[in-house]
Amino acid sequence: MSEPTEFLAAAEALLGSRGFTRDPDLMDPWLTDWRGRFSGKALALLSPSSTQEVSRTVRLCADHGIAIVPQGGNSGMCGGATPDASGNAVLLSLRRMDAIRSLDTEARQIVCEAGLVLQTLHEVAARERLRFPLTLGGKGSATVGGLISTNAGGTQVLRHGVMRDQVLGLEAVLADGSIFNGLTVLKKDNRGFDLKQMLIGSEGTLGIVTAATLRLLPETGGRSVAWAGLKSIGDARKLLLLAQDKAGHYLEGFEVMPQHSLEAVLAHTPDTRNPLTDIHPWQALIELVGEPGEAADLPAIVEDILAAGMEQGLVDDATIAANESQAEAFWLMRDEIAPAERAVGPAMQHDISVPVARMADFVEAAIPQVKARFPDTLPVAFGHLGDGNVHFHVIGPADAVRGQWELDQGKTISAYVHDLVTEWGGSISAEHGIGQMKRDELGRLGDPVANTMLRNVKQALDPQGILNPGKLVPLAPAP
Amino acid sequence: MSEPTEFLAAAEALLGSRGFTRDPDLMDPWLTDWRGRFSGKALALLSPSSTQEVSRTVRLCADHGIAIVPQGGNSGMCGGATPDASGNAVLLSLRRMDAIRSLDTEARQIVCEAGLVLQTLHEVAARERLRFPLTLGGKGSATVGGLISTNAGGTQVLRHGVMRDQVLGLEAVLADGSIFNGLTVLKKDNRGFDLKQMLIGSEGTLGIVTAATLRLLPETGGRSVAWAGLKSIGDARKLLLLAQDKAGHYLEGFEVMPQHSLEAVLAHTPDTRNPLTDIHPWQALIELVGEPGEAADLPAIVEDILAAGMEQGLVDDATIAANESQAEAFWLMRDEIAPAERAVGPAMQHDISVPVARMADFVEAAIPQVKARFPDTLPVAFGHLGDGNVHFHVIGPADAVRGQWELDQGKTISAYVHDLVTEWGGSISAEHGIGQMKRDELGRLGDPVANTMLRNVKQALDPQGILNPGKLVPLAPAP
């Protein structure tokens, strides 16, 4: 393809020097995903500063048939914001659009633009004694638009739900440049099927999220965080049920990690120490969060959970964080698992879910199966047991060469894990999305009826196929 | 159109005598909606008994280009389940499909078929000491499929949300007869945009809901119901904020009704009496519901709300139901408003919403505006103040002839009310849907971008246009 000089000139004229660049030094950091797994090229980096500018930019691209790869914080996990190698697409960054348009403390709603960083959103809410109830490791770079486009999860889903549950209203630019304005919040609105829901989780393939109205909650009324050592993930499941029963809606987090993950964190993360004397086959991190004005005695509830867990033989040892800094230290252990596991050596990572009640059984069945099929690997699962979502890593052998082993072995291993989770009625993407990484796996394993629906809706809303091509929507099967 | 004899013979062979009829006596009750506002004709009444039969039936219709009008309890409010006058469509009843496929008391999930009646669902849940947290006046006839297809609301939305919030999984037959199987519940699943959400509220235009996985909650731990007399709906709004502040998540209902509605109920409903000595300009019905095992003293919280309301001059008089039968009697007053208002005389009814915080202001502004524009009418608003959703009735003059006045005056009045609510950023359908009644109003007042999306998605998923034609999806504007 020869260079579309006319388009490039028009885009530069439209967006000006702050909104248009082809400088490789400025573009390069955004052409590779943060984990260095996906790389691509782009015609230019476009950074519009308003919804109107996004609209005009998309219309210009539509007129010239130029593909658009929308990007937020570039902290996605599946290459959804990385262009392909052709260099025919533009990278459309939403990072300049980070304004807070309004904040209604009475209604507890914030209208913010797509480029707002999650960490900043937390801080803005906290200043009003409110909180935004979704968080995840990449909060320092993840943007509101990216969180919505990937329907992000995180560590508070058990109580507060995924990103979809936080989005009350949405503004997006569609493939023809028209603006879908759904920011006004109506608690009840039955004017047809809910178009907002279609855009959430669509990874920029149906429209480009430019702003959203998000719900906020009252600031927390303190928390109580416990760490328990357990014999098995089956016991962790039983402890989860016990905790749900005793803590009700105060239960905000229930994370599990096996011995290997804890050892990796202790070995690779400075300033970490095991909260218990011993390392157990499994550890559970339990968090209860109160609401202001409620009289609940959270530490007493946590103690009750742990005491009952010990009495029932589920918990071998346990400790409760004595203060906020200990609670932070417990959570640091959890948050550092992924980087620590990566430091150990190459691993294939899988973000999978099955029905919540089946996750413990799945892990207990899948780990020996994977081990038997790939004897030189070490399968490890950790994460959100309360959501039926674990990160299932398959670690390569000690002599595996990073970068090579994944290419040689990775695809076979991932296909095997995805087959297993599909057999169990689960999802090959629980919270990270599909992007370019899992598109073909979704085509292979997804329900053909659902895959056809995805393709038909995509075709209807983006007939030219200019919005984030090659991502999410599986190709039609060969005839 | 000549009769499609080949199709009819094939349909009869497929569905047998229990599933196929052309007998006018059997068909007639279903060819007019329950309020007698919409009537139509149909080629035949088809009543498949399984998802497979629905699939085969739809495929047969698709092969012959026969339109399908899906129907549940025939208790919709907008003619969404009534065929048109052409008689070219078949009526597809889901009522034979009323099985409960499974009930998981631990996960609190029920998988039931589309024809299950809401009242039965309540009873089934109650037997397991669980509850399904959505109810409405038509619960004795409304079916799960209809509730999902219209994304029904009701009187518990304030706390528990609309039907969309109860649906965890969905099974539907698409326009080509293929079966979308999304019944398995995954708390996290990011395999593309959420197709289930597209089908909810689509009024049978994108697919026919055949079964669903619904969430259940623990049975309630008692309730406390109060009745308050107020000077204005503005004061009711302030009392609502007070109640939300003091009752938190226990607040399950907050309904308002003006003097006229109360008088209508007292005049037209046997065995009703005013809970207070006087009739006030406005009355509020407040319900707090506990959860089992929680120690909250609901009557004390209600008393606290009312005392603070009196102290702030918001509440003129109030009473708390002394027992369950009094609580039922309070709710009967609320549930009987619509029938009582209908008994008074002809009225144009509007199911509208605006942002929750603006509803009191809207009612205070709109009532005198409507009265000024149509001096011989009486505008009355009642309903779900806590959801920003009221039923806005415009009652005809005393000498209005029922059936005639609506035709002569109705369209102008409704257009005026819909214009007003659109100016306020609201919705012309809060909880009843669009159906055939409001399709053209949605075309006139809906966001053109959103309307185009509705049309494009409809075209993509039902290119032949055989699923519930003439409903919901606005026609394209004349070029």
Select from B182, B193, B355 the Cβ nearest to the Cβ of A202: B193
Residue A280 has pLDDT above 70, yes or no: yes
B434 contacts A191? CB cut-off 8 A: yes
Mean pLDDT of A351-373: 96
The answer for residues whose C-beta is within 8 angstroms of residue B64's C-beta and 6 or more apart is B4, B6, B7, B10
Closest CA to A338 of A287, A265, A401: A265
A427 contacts B457? CB cut-off 8 A: no
Choosing among 3.30.70.2190, 3.30.1050.10, 3.40.1350.10, 3.40.50.300, the CATH entry for B223-337 is 3.30.70.2190
**The pLDDT value given to residue B396:** 93
**The pLDDT value given to residue B1:** 58
A434 contacts B195? CB cut-off 8 A: no
Q: Which of B147, B183, B188, B387 to mutate to test the interface with A (most CBs of A within 10 A)?
A: B188
Please check whether residue B340 is in contact with residue B261, taking contact to mean a CB–CB distance below 8 angstroms.
yes
Topology classification of domain A345-423:
Alpha-Beta Plaits (3.30.70)
B202 contacts A192? CB cut-off 8 A: yes
Q: Got the DSSP string for B131-190?
A: E-----TTTTT-BHHHHHHTT---SSHHHH--HHHHEEEEEEEETTS-EEEE-S--SS--
How far is B268 from B31, CA to CA, in rounded Å?
29
A190 contacts B202? CB cut-off 8 A: no
Tens digits of per-residue pLDDT, B446-463? 999 999 999 999 999 999
CA-to-CA separations, A23 to A6, A26, A45, A404, B148, in angstroms, rounded: 18, 5, 9, 31, 52
Tens digits of per-residue pLDDT, B181-223? 999 999 999 998 899 999 999 999 999 999 999 999 999 888 9
Q: Is A429 part of the contact surface with chain B (CB cutoff 8 Å)?
A: yes
Residue B56: band (very low, low, confident or very high) from pLDDT cuts 50, 70, 90: very high
Taking the CB of residue A45, how many other CB atoms lie within 10 A of it? Answer: 22
B449 contacts A178? CB cut-off 8 A: yes
Closest CA to A245 of A301, A175, A202: A301
Q: Is A357 part of the contact surface with chain B (CB cutoff 8 Å)?
A: yes
Please check whether residue A203 is in contact with residue A197, taking contact to mean a CB–CB distance below 8 angstroms.
no
Residue B339 has pLDDT above 90, yes or no: no
Which residues between 33 and 72 in chain A have a beta carbon less than 8 angstroms from any beta carbon of chain B? Answer: none
**The pLDDT value given to residue A232:** 97
Tens digits of per-residue pLDDT, B139-183? 999 999 999 999 999 989 999 999 999 999 999 999 999 999 999
Q: How many CB pairs under 8 A join A and B?
A: 219
A100-218 matches A5-93 in CATH topology:
no
CA-to-CA separations, A387 to A235, A251, A431, B477, in angstroms, rounded: 16, 12, 10, 46
Look up residue B129 and give its amino acid.
Answer: R
Residue B293 has pLDDT above 80, yes or no: no
Q: Is B197 part of the contact surface with chain A (CB cutoff 8 Å)?
A: yes
**The pLDDT value given to residue B478:** 83
Helix (H, G, I), strand (E, B) or coil at A54: helix
Residue B407 has pLDDT above 80, yes or no: yes
Q: Is A191 part of the contact surface with chain B (CB cutoff 8 Å)?
A: yes
Which residues between 314 and 333 in chain A have a beta carbon less than 8 angstroms from any beta carbon of chain B? Answer: none
Q: Is A300 part of the contact surface with chain B (CB cutoff 8 Å)?
A: no
Residue B292 has pLDDT above 80, yes or no: no
**The pLDDT value given to residue B260:** 94
Tens digits of per-residue pLDDT, B241-260? 999 999 988 999 999 999 99
3-state helix, strand, coil in chain A (%, to 5): 40, 20, 40
B442 contacts A192? CB cut-off 8 A: yes
Select from B150, B192, B459 the Cβ nearest to the Cβ of A190: B150
**The pLDDT value given to residue B398:** 86
A363 token code pair: 């892990």
Q: Got the DSSP string for A243-296?
A: HHHHHGGGEEEEEEEEHHHHHHHHHHSTT---SSSS--SEEEEEEEE--TT---
Residue A213: band (very low, low, confident or very high) from pLDDT cuts 50, 70, 90: very high
What are the extents of the domains in chain A?
A: 5-93, 100-218, 223-337, 345-423
Choosing among 3.30.465.10, 3.40.50.2300, 3.60.20.30, 2.40.50.150, the CATH entry for B100-218 is 3.30.465.10
Mean pLDDT of A396-423: 93
Q: Is B251 part of the contact surface with chain A (CB cutoff 8 Å)?
A: no
Residue B137: band (very low, low, confident or very high) from pLDDT cuts 50, 70, 90: confident
Residue B10 has pLDDT above 70, yes or no: yes
B172 CB neighbours in chain A (<8 A) are none
Looking at every residue in chain B, the average pLDDT score rounds to 95
**The pLDDT value given to residue B112:** 98
CATH code of A5-93, in short, is 3.30.43.10
Q: Is B210 part of the contact surface with chain A (CB cutoff 8 Å)?
A: no
ipTM score assigned to the predicted complex: 0.94
Strand-strand pairing, B68-71 and B217-218: unpaired
Residue B261 has pLDDT above 80, yes or no: yes
Please check whether residue A196 is in contact with residue B205, taking contact to mean a CB–CB distance below 8 angstroms.
no
B194 CB neighbours in chain A (<8 A) are 151, 164, 197-198, 200-201
Please check whether residue B320 is in contact with residue B271, taking contact to mean a CB–CB distance below 8 angstroms.
no
Mean pLDDT of B463-479: 95
Which residues between 159 and 178 in chain A have a beta carbon less than 8 angstroms from any beta carbon of chain B? Answer: 162, 164, 174, 178
Looking at every residue in chain A, the average pLDDT score rounds to 95
Nearest chain B residue (CA) to A176 = B449
Strand ranges (E), B385-438: 389-395
* Residue percentage of chain B with pLDDT more than 70: 99
Please check whether residue A71 is in contact with residue A81, taking contact to mean a CB–CB distance below 8 angstroms.
yes
Angle at A279 between CA A277 and CA A285, to 5 degrees: 90
Tens digits of per-residue pLDDT, A21-73? 999 999 999 999 988 889 999 999 999 999 999 999 999 999 999 999 999 99
**The pLDDT value given to residue B468:** 98
A459 contacts B187? CB cut-off 8 A: no
The answer for residues whose C-beta is within 8 angstroms of residue B93's C-beta and 6 or more apart is B30, B45, B46, B47, B71, B72, B115
**The pLDDT value given to residue A256:** 97
Residue A1: band (very low, low, confident or very high) from pLDDT cuts 50, 70, 90: low
Q: Is A353 part of the contact surface with chain B (CB cutoff 8 Å)?
A: yes
End-to-end, the C-alpha distance of chain B in Å comes to 29
Q: Is A475 part of the contact surface with chain B (CB cutoff 8 Å)?
A: no
Q: Is B404 part of the contact surface with chain A (CB cutoff 8 Å)?
A: no
Closest CA to B214 of B123, B93, B102: B102
Helix (H, G, I), strand (E, B) or coil at B120: helix
Helix (H, G, I), strand (E, B) or coil at A144: helix
B157 CB neighbours in chain A (<8 A) are 187-188
B294 CB neighbours in chain A (<8 A) are 248
Residue A268 has pLDDT above 70, yes or no: yes
Q: Is A362 part of the contact surface with chain B (CB cutoff 8 Å)?
A: no
A249 contacts B193? CB cut-off 8 A: no
